Structure 1
Amino acid sequence: MDPMSHDAAPDSGPHDDAARHAAGMAVRRAVLGDEHVDRAEAKTTPFTEPFQDLITRYAWGEIWTRPGLDRRTRSCMVLTALVAKGHWDELAMHVRAAVRNGLTAEEIREVFLQAAIYCGVPAANKAFGVAQQVLAELEG
């Protein structure tokens, strides 16, 4: 089968919902930290449970477990996407995650400098402020 075909099977990763959820929860905890995930789980209600399941299975269990990009690279991509969309609370969470994934403050700064060109200076300016606060909290 042609590996570029849309019919090609995924090259790795969990293949059923329960396995995807378990793999996703493991990555989610590794990237975001147990404390954050436990808080999110504690806030889950019957109304929000399907959403929590969706992001655990698909964002974390399907995308973050794929081969081809390491977690540092994925963090750089997520930071850029969050700057582009102006999702500042999520950006703060993912600055923490980027540090957990091994990015330095200097590398995060470079992501935001690059984002300034492609996402706009005002968005990058806000991102620098968010990241500076998070990094100060992590150092303190």
Structure 2
Amino acid sequence: MRDDAFERGRALRAAIFGPEGMKSFEQADSFQEPLQDLVTRICFGEVWSREGLPLKIRSMLTVAILVGQSRPNQLRNHVKGAIANGVTREELREILLHATLYHGLPAGTDSWAIVTGLLKELDTHG
């Protein structure tokens, strides 16, 4: 069902994650379409697009939460999105340090390695 929330979510997803981040949306088959609809319409069209928090803070919160969930693929995607939303490397470092304190060393050290590798990759490939 394509409605205002879906279109708002699609535009926001594209703005935050760019063409690379839209591949899962564009390449979704009929089996994956319900998931992509949920992510697009509810996650980005209803929640991320709310005015209560700026995108930068939403990104910061999401990165911290993903550290605790030990979700490396989502963490990589959302760190890229956080950078697009204005989060600096220094802020990412502080988020990782703070999240490690509360989520624990195993999840934290894995997340530091993922983010460090991603930042090096971004430095190399622009």
TM-score, structure 1 length as denominator? 0.84
User: Structure 2 regions of 5+ residues with no counterpart?
Assistant: none
How do 1:46-57 and structure 2 match up within 5 A? 46-57=30-41
Residues 115-140 of structure 1, C-alpha deviations (whole Å, 9 max, x = no match): 01110111111111100111111111
Q: Secondary structure at the match of 1:44?
A: coil
Residues 66-101 of structure 1, C-alpha deviations (whole Å, 9 max, x = no match): 011111100111001111111111101111111111
- Residue 33 (str. 1) matches residue 18 (str. 2): yes
Matched residues, percent identical? 35
Larger radius of gyration: 1
Q: Cα offset for 1:35?
A: 2.6
Q: Which amino acid letter does the alignment assign opposite residue 19 of structure 1?
A: D
Q: Cα offset for 1:36?
A: 1.9
User: In 1, distance between residues paired with 2:2 and 2:51?
Assistant: 19
User: In 1, distance between residues paired with 2:21 and 2:78?
Assistant: 11
- Residue 61 (str. 1) matches residue 48 (str. 2): no
Q: Cα offset for 1:28?
A: 0.5
Aligned residues between the structures: 124
- Residue 23 (str. 1) matches residue 12 (str. 2): no
TM-score, structure 2 length as denominator? 0.93
Equivalent in 98, 111, 126 of residue 114 of structure 1: 98
Q: Which amino acid letter does the alignment assign opposite residue 17 of structure 2?
A: L
User: Structure 1 regions of 5+ residues with no counterpart?
Assistant: 1-15
Measured on the aligned residues, the alpha-carbon RMSD in Å equals: 1.3
- Residue 93 (str. 1) matches residue 83 (str. 2): no
User: In 2, distance between residues paired with 1:58 and 1:68?
Assistant: 16
Q: Cα offset for 1:20?
A: 0.2
Deviating above 2 A after TM superposition, structure 1's stretches of 4 or more consecutive aligned residues are none
